[in-house]
């Protein structure tokens, strides 16, 4: 038994256990950071899936090309910024450069954005167990990785199932549209509705309900 209280994890308030002596962070926190990083990497990771959600071929993104309406973008333009150079990839590479000054990371060789993301995550995960006892700013690192992971998950899950809203044409025909509908032609009476007219039908529907 020590007289002095054992030091605490710099991320969570837990006191470090005997087998965690000399570390800045506890093992559960290390594990959580590792999981956040792991989820972001790879062809099925959050970064790759985020790239699939945004319009292809813009902003210097070299993410997977998917067909889609040109100019389509989520509200606020966030995914584009997140997946472009200067977004997630640059945030991660900034930490790689920082960790490299402690001898805790290998700076990547560049290449496609997805490759750069994967390289950064690989070296950060590889060195995380050492960083746990050698890097004093793991609190900031942990917060940023958490934020990136949570933000990506929120956008992906929000986009996965666009909300479908029933609309009723004055002729009585009912169909569903999404909030970003380009409009439609009523299958009952042939009336054409543009984006805003279509959404007005949903308002009318809600008022009537
Ligand atoms: Zn902790
Ligand atoms: Zn109609």
Inform me whether the pLDDT recorded for 60 exceeds 60.
no
Inform me whether the pLDDT recorded for 193 exceeds 70.
yes
User: Which residue did the predictor score with more confidence, 147 or 70?
Assistant: 147
* pLDDT on residue 77: 55
Number of domains in the chain: 2
Q: What digits encode the pLDDT tens for the residues 169-181?
A: 999 998 888 877 8
Q: Are 111 and 121 in contact (CB under 8 A)?
A: no
Q: What digits encode the pLDDT tens for the residues 19-51?
A: 999 999 999 999 999 999 999 999 999 999 999
Residue 67's domain comprises 18-160
Please tell me the number of the ligand nearest to residue 186's CA. Answer: 2
Q: Kindly compute the dihedral angle of the four CA atoms of residues 116, 64, 159, 148, in this order, to the nearest 10 degrees.
A: 0
Quick one: residue 16, left, alpha or beta (phi over 0 = left, psi -120 to 50 = alpha)?
beta
CA of 178 to the centre of ligand 2 (A): 18
Inform me whether the pLDDT recorded for 6 exceeds 70.
yes
Q: Is 121 helix (H, G, I), strand (E, B) or coil?
A: helix
CA of 13 to the centre of ligand 1 (A): 6
| Same structural domain, 63 and 121 | yes
Q: Is 178 helix (H, G, I), strand (E, B) or coil?
A: strand
Q: What digits encode the pLDDT tens for the residues 69-98?
A: 444 455 555 667 899 999 999 999 999 999
Query: Average of pLDDT values for 52-66?
Result: 50
* pLDDT on residue 62: 44
Quick one: residue 23, left, alpha or beta (phi over 0 = left, psi -120 to 50 = alpha)?
beta
User: Which residue did the predictor score with more confidence, 105 or 175?
Assistant: 105
Boundary residue ending a domain (142, 160, 178): 160
Inform me whether the pLDDT recorded for 65 exceeds 50.
no
CA of 41 to the centre of ligand 1 (A): 23
CA of 162 to the centre of ligand 2 (A): 24
Please tell me the number of the ligand nearest to residue 12's CA. Answer: 1
Query: Does 180 map to a domain?
Result: yes
Query: Does 9 map to a domain?
Result: no
CA of 155 to the centre of ligand 1 (A): 27
Tokens at 175, concatenated: 């169909």
């Amino acid at each position: 038994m020590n007289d002095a209280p054992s030091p605490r994890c710099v991320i969570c308030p837990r006191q470090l256990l005997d087998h965690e002596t000399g570390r800045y962070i506890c093992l559960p926190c290390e594990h959580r950071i590792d999981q956040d990083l792991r989820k972001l990497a790879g062809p099925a990771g959050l970064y790759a899936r985020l790239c699939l959600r945004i319009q292809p071929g813009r902003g210097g993104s070299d993410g997977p090309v998917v067909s889609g309406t040109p100019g389509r973008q989520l509200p606020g333009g966030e995914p584009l910024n997140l997946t472009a150079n200067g977004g997630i990839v640059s945030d991660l590479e900034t930490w790689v450069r920082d960790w490299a000054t402690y001898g805790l990371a290998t700076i990547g060789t560049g290449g496609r954005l997805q490759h750069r993301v994967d390289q950064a995550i690989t070296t950060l995960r590889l060195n995380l167990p050492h960083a746990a006892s050698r890097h004093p700013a793991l609190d900031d690192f942990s917060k940023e990785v958490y934020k990136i992971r949570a933000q990506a998950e929120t956008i992906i899950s929000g986009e996965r199932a666009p909300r479908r809203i029933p609309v009723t044409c004055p002729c009585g025909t009912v169909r569903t549209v999404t909030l970003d509908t380009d409009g439609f032609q009523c299958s009952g009476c042939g009336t054409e509705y543009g984006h805003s007219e279509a959404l007005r039908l949903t308002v009318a529907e809600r008022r009537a309900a």
